[in-house]
Structure 1
């Protein structure tokens, strides 16, 4: 049975890394001693080692050990051995490029579908859906494919921002961009705001956090909901 937690962000304003999620993560990883961390999104270009150290410090607060996937000579073996998995945020294009280039997308998908607990934040949440096409990130590299894990039946737009009615900015809103996506692709999209996350057990998906999600379905008006209907 799939066990997945997809968060919009790793860090809320004024808090330390993963702080707001730690109470949930203590239960989510209750049967796990070691979490295998996938650091390939590299926020700000930091090293795999520094990113893994940041994650290690956070998980030590709930008595969990962390091992970076980059430390394995064969990262496919690292996936195979994992008790639990966490993919952090950063640049989704870079993350997806690395997962495809290292031939990790399929083994990672199989591992999650087998029931290995999976945590994603931001870019790590983006890759749970069928494609990365609703990311907010800049294309700093060119992945061989935009296809991602498809372990859930919807795409995400993490860090979702509502249009500001008082703004004089005339550029496209997030809602406009997602409508453009739906002219080409019918995959549902969840606009996930900061502080909110989706918890998936088997076929049941539950929104948790402080608010509602913005739900986008092709051919329908977007709507607010605390239910994830997919």
Structure 2
């Protein structure tokens, strides 16, 4: 049974994680900061690990762009949750694909590990990330070769930062150019999409 928490910003809604993971204290989360390494707000995205620790979680950080396959596999295997930060979605997808972390994460989620995706981490969880071109630059991902297939952990596409002070305009542009077939789910920075098996709900701070 898949369990996911997809957010624009983790800090405002971090307490909602307990709705799908009620017993957090002492558990371990794999923290993947890769997307934040190619984004000017990277430092703020990486601050999410302090929120995770405040919830009682042990944090194992690993950058899939530079780590070995063995280290990524071992780190994910020793965790009960996976957290993927915000940043540049295209660089994130390229790094996940070339390290084979995409397959490891998808398998781990199928086996019951909880996936927490923030902004880029939420976008990449869907079936395709091409729409996020209106928000992110493709420049940091020259080897993606126009293959925009996401992890496919959910069958809808998150549009983060609706009405946000920095990226709200880009998010609105994405929604203006979308249609019902795109299965877009727009979320504000104070909202989260929680997936618990077949049950999907939108929650607010």
TM-score band by shorter chain is: 0.7 to 0.9
Q: Post-superposition shift, 1:6?
A: 0.4
Equivalent residue for 1:141? 140
TM-score with structure 1 length normalisation? 0.71
Number of the residue aligned with 1:7:
7
**Equivalent position of 1:89 in the other structure:** 86
Q: How many residues align?
A: 188
Report SS of the residue matched to 2:129.
coil
Match of 2:158 among 156, 159, 163: 156
* Correspondence for 1:202: 197
More helix by share: 2
Could you tell me which runs of 5 or more consecutive residues in structure 1 were left unpaired when the two chains were aligned.
11-17, 163-171, 211-230
Counterpart selection for 1:116 from 113, 116, 121: 113
In 1: Cα distance, 2:17 partner to 2:171 partner? 29
Contact 2:6–2:194, Cα closer than 8 Å, also in 1: yes
* Partner residue, 1:104: 101
- Give deviations 1:82-131, integer Å, cap 9, x for gaps: 21110011110111111011111122111112211111110010011101
Aligned to 1:66: 59
Partner of 2:34: 40
Give the SS at the match of 1:101: helix
Question: What CA distance in whole angstroms lies between the structure 1 residues aligned with 2:15 and 2:174?
Answer: 34
- Kept in 2: contact 1:126–1:156 (CA 8 A): yes
SS at match of 2:40: helix
Matching residue of 2:77:
80
1:189 deviates by: 0.8
Deviations 1:135-184 (CA, angstroms, capped at 9, x unpaired): 2212122324211111111111111249xxxxxxxxx97455445454xx
Cα pair 1:97 1:141 within 8 Å, conserved = no
Secondary structure of the 1:60 match is helix
- 1:62/1:174 Cα in 2 relative to 1: closer, same or farther (>3 Å)? closer
Deviations 1:43-71 (A, max 9, x none): 32758xx975x343222212211011239
Highest RCO, 1 vs 2 (Cα 8 Å, sep ≥ 6): 2
Q: Indicate the residue corresponding to 2:181 in structure 1.
A: 186
> Aligned partners of 1:173, 1:137: CA distance in 2, in Å?
9
Q: Larger deviation: 140-149 or 172-181?
A: 172-181
Cα RMSD of the aligned pairs, angstroms, is 2.8
Larger radius of gyration, structure 1 or 2?
1
Cα distance in structure 2, aligned partners of 1:34 and 1:70? 16
SS class of match (1:78): helix
- Asked whether the equivalents of residues 159 and 187 of structure 2 are also in contact (C-alpha less than 8 Å), the reply is yes
